[in-house]
Structure 1
Amino acid sequence: MTISASEPATTPPASLPLAAQSSLRVLYQHRLMSTPQLHRLLTPATARPVYLLRQLNRLRALGLVDRVRVQGPALTRMPFLWYLTDVGADLVEEDHELTHRPYRVTEGGAMGSRQAHTLAVNETGLAFVEHARRLGHECGPLDWTPEVANRIRDGQRRFEDDHVISDAVVNYVHIHPNQRRTPLQAFVELDRATMTVTRLAAKLSAYGRMHDYVPQEPDRSRSQVGARPAWRYQYRTFPRILVVLTGAGTRALAGRASDLAHLASSDPRLMRHRDTLAIGVTTLGHLQKYGPFEPIFTPLLRDSGPTDLYLRPPAEPDGQGVQE
């Protein structure tokens, strides 16, 4: 990594151009993004990311960001992946504008086995952002957060046993023609067809456990009046759960969706909350092509046809019965 002698690595973000500041904040929240993804997210009005690359290379010269190549068969022709250095992450944290993210990306981590998964989660978030722009809704570069953990039981087991870790949480504001605003929130599970459907179904079952989990407080029992599920301290309503499939052909993904629906509908914990838990499955291709307000989601806990992001019965009038 090269650090310019004329520009100190402690250059405050406020003194940098807006594109550079935005790049720092986006990379802090999303950890790892390719040049094309940053271009679509931050400078979509330009045909080529010339100015953006100039700013990214300036940040690299300052020692605030670094880059690796996306893994692929022709490595030298693959786009760059950008991430913050420790110095860059510390600088962003000094502003106290973003929720603290303790995880730091290293060169080894950027080149590791999670690279393709991270890029696919980015593509999911980008699909929401790009369709929000097209539809006049609100969903910006920082409106999805990757790898959000929520506790699902008391105890001191392994972190993975006590928490469900969502691949992302998306915040989206649907602005209706009459300017009425409906905030929508969703947990995203991105499946690249690399795990068994049984394991994916177990992840969904963990959301059922999260829905039920009431923390044990020393001075009162879980059943005492006033005890609240833990998720209510963070979310106003329980977010929708969106399973986004990719990484295989159309027929294979349809088979995975069908198997997942069978397993979810056979899960007593999930079915007990079928009126309050909204779980839908779609493909990344459909989300990118059609957007979240077309009938691309197949509900997993009820026998009905495809619907949109609201995951409500198709006959229900727009917005009715939805309280966010």
Structure 2
Amino acid sequence: MSKIEQSWYKPFGLITLLLLPLSALFWVVSTFRKYLYSAKILKPFKCKTPIIVVGNISVGGNGKTPFVLWLYEHLTQQGLSVGIISRGYGGKADNYPLLVTGLVDAQQAGDEPVLLYHRLKCPIAVGPNREHNIDLLENNYKLDVIISDDGMQHYKMPRSIECCIVDSERRFGNGFAMPAGPLRETTKRLQSVDMVVENGGETDNSYVLQVSNLRLVNSNDYAKNHVSEAHAISAIGNPKRFENSLEARNIKLLSTHHFRDHYAYAADDFAQFGDDCIIMTEKDAVKCQSFAKPNWYYLPVDAQPTDNVINTLNLLLKEKGILNGL
């Protein structure tokens, strides 16, 4: 995490003060752009499939991916055919839009879309142009609904339901817009979304992360041996939550190492650990599988929403005509 990002979650300091003019400019530009859409001067593109956006108002890891995984499973359990679109941050493909398959790696599609595909084996399209991503899915699959992983501020994209994920620990940082703070939009935006869901916390509108058994990075098989100590490696927005999960399982952390979010790992990054045991997140693992050693593990997590979140979502699905007779 850079010094600027660290300043977002600390008391007001010099870095924040120096960046405030840029934050004011960012706020003016983003607010004016939003106004152009609300006033119908600019209009969203059209698509035939309902879109559910899972996003946030702040940058950094807020917990979208576990919620997207749960949301996909919930929708398919209701008999819906579901696809996913993503910007594919961190990936670089020769051509877009890109349909994610078992032959596509994180260098092409980004770590989160590859993680989603490994888990779900569902239609996933990535690329910088969300309209083209949607077209690719609609032209190749008969879908009842599409989940947009992020894209809440992409007002050119139509949406039927907006789910805003909030990290219950870090919340909104210092409350300033980028780059002085982590916010893409002010907290007033929360009043217009359909659902605000907290990652962690004890509110009625929240979910907890349920950890599963460790898996091997190089094969995805479950760990057969008990792991008592390891180095914790992560390239996510909130690494402390991951490390706390390991310690809660009575795993002694030999060291902790934080890389920037979506970091593209290379084998040399792990040379300092020799043959020691390593545990990483699932998002990290999809980028390390090709060079992982036999004692490298990852910790899968699954979102478990409250009954209130589930009931609210089911009502929205009915109201929006996505699902009838639930």
On whether the aligned pair clears a TM of 0.5, the verdict is no
Higher helix proportion (structure 1 or 2): 1
Calculate the TM-score normalised by the size of structure 2: 0.26
Q: Which has the larger radius of gyration?
A: 1
